[in-house]
Amino acid sequence: MTVPLVVMNNTQLFPELPARKRQAMENVYIPSGLKVWIEFDEDFYSDMQLTGSLYGYINDAPIFFDSVFRKPSSRHCLTYFDVGPNTHKLTGLDDDEILSKLMEKLDNIFDGKATRHYLNHHVQNWEKQPYIGGAYSFGWDNYDRTLRELQRPINKKLYFAGEHTEPVEVATVHGAAISGRQAAQEVLKDLQ
């Protein structure tokens, strides 16, 4: 089974999962997450723009970065990426309000050029996606014990995968893929 933990924690299963499995899933912190792509008719911005200090960036402050940096594209697109405890300040807004706040930030940084050169945008608000519900696993207490419980199959009948079950590549798409392959290999081994 591979389901985002926010969705899993809000799903009633029959029969119920064992208490230790439920507790492990509830231990994992899944913050809000937001990605916004904004296209412009001109490249007036730097490759990456921190919205706070470098210390803040290291501690999960939001950033703007050039979406097509070193890619064979003639488009001009900035991506806003924000995951963490303060993301909810934007994720509770509708898409137009989110864009308005971001354009205000960019206009302040780039002397109004964002509004003058704006073409298009797309908002990906993971918190509002019904089958996602948040960003990705973001650290938790008792990491080793919780991770082992998240990985543990139930009675060789129900196996678990997802970015939250991969110890090295946690919180990544490739970590989710690795864990899926590992779970499939475990199923095949147990079927022999």
Report residue 1's pLDDT band, with 50, 70 and 90 as the boundaries: confident
Q: What's the whole-model pTM score?
A: 0.82
45 close to 116: Cβ distance less than 8 angstroms: no
Higher pLDDT, 155 or 56: 155
* Cα distance between residue 146 and residue 167, in whole Å: 11
11 close to 136: Cβ distance less than 8 angstroms: no
pLDDT of residue 185: 97
pLDDT of residue 58: 47
Residue type, 143: Y
pLDDT averaged over the chain? Answer: 89
67 close to 77: Cβ distance less than 8 angstroms: yes
Q: What is the pLDDT of residues 130-153, one digit of tens each?
A: 899 999 898 778 888 999 999 999
pLDDT of residue 14: 85
* Cα distance between residue 36 and residue 38, in whole Å: 6
End-to-end alpha-carbon separation of the chain, Å?
20
pLDDT of residue 86: 83
Q: What is the pLDDT of residues 47-93, one digit of tens each?
A: 766 665 544 444 557 888 899 888 888 999 999 999 888 888 899 99
Of residues 136, 130, 160, the one with CA closest to residue 148: 160
Pairing of strands 32-40, 48-50: unpaired
Distances from the Cα of 102 to the Cαs of 64, 90, 118, 190, in angstroms?
10, 9, 12, 51
